[in-house]
Copies of this chain bind each other. A is one copy, B any other.
Amino acid sequence: MKLEEGVLKKDRRALARLITLVENDSDEAQEALRVLHSHTGKAHIIGITGPPGGGKSTLVDKLAKELRKRNKTVGIVAVDPTSPFTGGALLGDRIRMSELSTDSDVFIRSMGTRGALGGVARATSDVVKLLDAFGKDTIFIETVGTGQAEVDIVKIAHTTIIVTMPGLGDDIQTIKAGIMEIGDIFVVNKADRQDADKKVMEIQAMLELGQKKNSWEPPVLKTTARDGVGIPELLDLAENHYRWLLESGNLKKMSIEKSRAELFSIIEQNVEKVVVDRVDEGEIDKLCQQIANKEIDPYKAADEVLAKTGIKLKK
């Protein structure tokens, strides 16, 4: 049986195997994604991001459990920077496995952010597609951090939840970097700590300063994920947001925009494959050395490489 057929038949092993192929950017994965494309588009994709230390993983776990209570199946993609210094991804995995792994309707996968940047957002997007085609009702994308990379990854989501906590960052810098604009719901987690209300007010003040992108007004919610406080309410808000997206026509718009990004990304990828296939590696190495030695400029070198591929850009 082909892996894509396995995924459609809800075979977890086929899913896991295909995710690995996607991460390795194999041709087999591309073929599978091609077939599975028409089976996607049913899941609600929720992005969770925010500064480190805000308790995102706990929040996602509790939301997943709440969804299971509501008889929904769950996929979790944790895009966690792997570093030899921290081993973050692996550790996070292990902690979770103990809590959720007994439930076969929750599928968890950690991904590293190594390699090309476009690559990570793309790989994440493809993994989410696989989970969608597999039939997961709700898919979480959790990323650590507040940088542009996280923003790009979270853009794959329909609903973006920004998680922070009291006392995290004296100033607003920790949640800048364009992250405010992409938040559909703001959460002040660990709300049993001092100054939770102050943090809520800070966020509300910032939201008032910002441009309103549409008729959705991002709510700010307090949670204490560890104790499950605020979790059902947060999930309700997320589901409200999805309903609003659907009814306002914004879901459709997002889907078309995403298709466009995907289309151009595939075009680029195809061209790069052709270059690597058709041009001798030694020739490319030589050109790179010449660029480094300032003997040729990179634009001219690009023209030469394209000429060798047989790709004619000039009319």
A residues near B (Cβ < 8 Å) are 30, 33-35, 37-41, 52-53, 81-86, 88, 113-114, 117-118, 120-121, 144-150, 152, 169-174, 176-178, 180-181, 206, 209-211, 252, 255-260, 262-264, 266-268, 270-272, 274-275, 284-285, 287-289, 291-292, 294, 297-302, 305-306, 310-313
Which residues of chain B are within 8 angstroms of A289 by Cβ–Cβ distance?
A: 256, 259
A304's nearest neighbour on chain B, judged by CB, is B263
Option from B144, B172, B284 in Cβ contact (under 8 Å) with A85 = B172
A81 to B174 CA separation, bound complex (whole angstroms): 12
A312 to B271 CA separation, bound complex (whole angstroms): 10
A176's nearest neighbour on chain B, judged by CB, is B86
Number of copies: 2
Which residues of chain B are within 8 angstroms of A41 by Cβ–Cβ distance?
A: 292, 294
Expressed in whole angstroms, the minimum distance between the Cβ of A37 and any Cβ of chain B is 4
Question: Is A34 a contact of B173 with CB atoms below 8 Å?
Answer: no
A86 to B291 CA separation, bound complex (whole angstroms): 40
Option from B88, B180, B313 in Cβ contact (under 8 Å) with A270 = B313
With A272-B264, A311-B313 given, is the CB distance from A34 to B297 under 8 Å?
yes
Question: Is A298 a contact of B259 with CB atoms below 8 Å?
Answer: yes
List 7 A-B residue pairs with CB atoms under 8 Å apart, sorted by A's residue number.
Answer: A53-B171, A83-B177, A117-B121, A145-B146, A147-B177, A270-B302, A311-B313
A150's nearest neighbour on chain B, judged by CB, is B147
A80 to B275 CA separation, bound complex (whole angstroms): 34
Known contacts A53-B169, A85-B209, A149-B149; 6 further A-B pairs (Cβ under 8 A): A40-B294, A83-B176, A120-B148, A259-B288, A263-B302, A266-B301
